Amino acid sequence: MTITLNSPLDMHLHLRDGEMLKTVAPLSSHSFAGAIIMPNLVPPITSIEALLEYKSRILSSTCRDRFEPLMTLFFRDDYSYEFLKEAKKEISALKLYPSGITTNSEGGVSSMDIEGLRDVFEAMSELEIPLLVHGETNGFVMDREKEFVSVYEQFAKNFPRLKIVMEHITTKESAELLGRYENLYATITLHHLYITLDDVAGGLLRPHLFCKPIAKRAEDRDALLDLALSAHPKVMFGSDSAPHPIDKKESCGCAAGVFTAPIALQALASLFEKNDNLQNLQAFVSENAREIYGCEPLSKEVTLEKTPFLVPDSYGGVVPMFAGEELDWSIKSVS
Ligand code: NCD
Ligand code: ZN
């Protein structure tokens, strides 16, 4: 059995910089035609100059493949209309992080009060720049995303022309929100379709499955599965593949992030096939994103086949999800 995907896209990806960028970028560019690149470097990407330099480093790390990095700026509440108008030519979106909520988000927004965000949100609405949001409060870890629902509602109601993407949703409450506001969309990761908190911490602690937002309950995962497997038109695949060196994961202060880029399409094919929804995979990994972002990806055909794939223990010192395990789908060819 095979399936050929047309220009798969990863709409939420961390590529890092320096040596890590050189290690991980080719693993995405091999099988994806493009990706939304997260700006949470140290320091974060907040200027057009830094963004263009980063983009050229990405392009030199992926030069053997046809791959388009879709760049984003780290959201700041003091960006001017003029700045955003210039930035618009180079970016696909702005990414908003509540301050300190996840890896390298210290320079994020400290209050979600819409009065302080109004000017930038209005400029973005006018310029048609999508807003990508890491939607968590700093409350109890299992409730952080649920507590953010009221913030999403305020954003969506007050700025109806602003396209808002709830990034890496993990709860049934977020899934339900999609139906209530026309301007809300979402990305869903691979790992949140597979795991619950039990897989992370129910037995021996699995640091390579620890991420923000943390995986939730079975009913939450099932709500995400319903959206993904039916390729709900408001959801897109965004891996949130977030590489950290092995010593930062297998440590007493484990960094948050699951590394899935090189195994994502194989594991998605397996999941969709097991659930008899292989025919919806193309929309989930490409068509929906094209529609939502209004983008035309580079052409790339990725053929997957139902042949076992032994996931390596590590890719250059970064441990992937399913390390050492066998997936039943593999990549046959890319053209
Ligand atoms: C991401 C990272 O490592 O940059 N970590 C994660 O757990 N997902 C940041 C993020 O997307 O929250
Ligand atoms: Zn992320």
The fraction of the chain above a pLDDT of 70, given in percent, is 100
Counting atoms of ligand 1 from 1, which one is nearest the CA of 97?
12
Q: How confident is the model at residue 261 (pLDDT cuts 50, 70, 90)?
A: very high
The alpha carbon of 181 and the centre of ligand 1 are apart by a number of angstroms equal to 26
Residue 13 pairs with which residues in a beta bridge?
37, 241
* Amino acid 31: pLDDT: 98
pLDDT at 113: 94
Q: What average pLDDT is seen over the chain?
A: 98
Phi/psi at 15 (5° precision): -105, -10
What's the pLDDT score for residue 281? Answer: 99
- Residue type at 86 in one-letter notation: E
**What pTM does this model have?**
0.98
161 alpha carbon – ligand 2 mean position (Å): 24
Instruction: Domains for the chain: give ranges and CATH numbers.
Output: 2-334 (3.20.20.140)
Q: pLDDT tens digit string along 155-169?
A: 999 999 999 999 999
- Would strands 34-37 and 9-13 be described as parallel, antiparallel, or unpaired? parallel
Catalytic sites, residue numbers: 240
User: What's the rounded mean pLDDT across residues 95-114?
Assistant: 94
pLDDT score at 138: 94
pLDDT at 285: 99
| Predicted pLDDT of residue 283 | 99
pLDDT tens figures, 118-133: 999 999 999 999 999 9
Amino acid occupying residue 23: T
Strand ranges (E), the chain: 2-6, 9-13, 34-37, 68-74, 93-96, 131-133, 164-166, 184-188, 235-237, 301-305, 309-310, 326-327, 330-334
52 confidence band (pLDDT: 50, 70, 90)? very high
Instruction: Report how far ligand 1's centroid is from the alpha carbon of 2 (Å).
Output: 32
Rounded Cα distance, 80 and 46, in Å: 12
Q: Which of 20, 40, 249 to mutate to test the pocket of ligand 1 (most atoms within 8 A of CB)?
A: 40
Ligand nearest to the CA of 40: 1
pLDDT tens-digit series, residues 183-206: 999 999 999 999 999 999 999 999
What is the C-alpha separation between 67 and 70, in angstroms, rounded? 10
Q: What's the angle, vertex CA 28, arms to CA 26 and CA 32, rounded to 5? A: 125
Can you give the pLDDT at residue 328?
Answer: 98
Rounded to an integer, the average pLDDT of 289-310 is 98
Ligand nearest to the CA of 243: 1
Angstrom distance (rounded) from CA 26 to CA 22: 7
Residue 68 per-residue DSSP state: E
Query: For residue range 10-26, what is the model confidence (pLDDT) as tens digits?
Result: 999 999 999 999 999 99
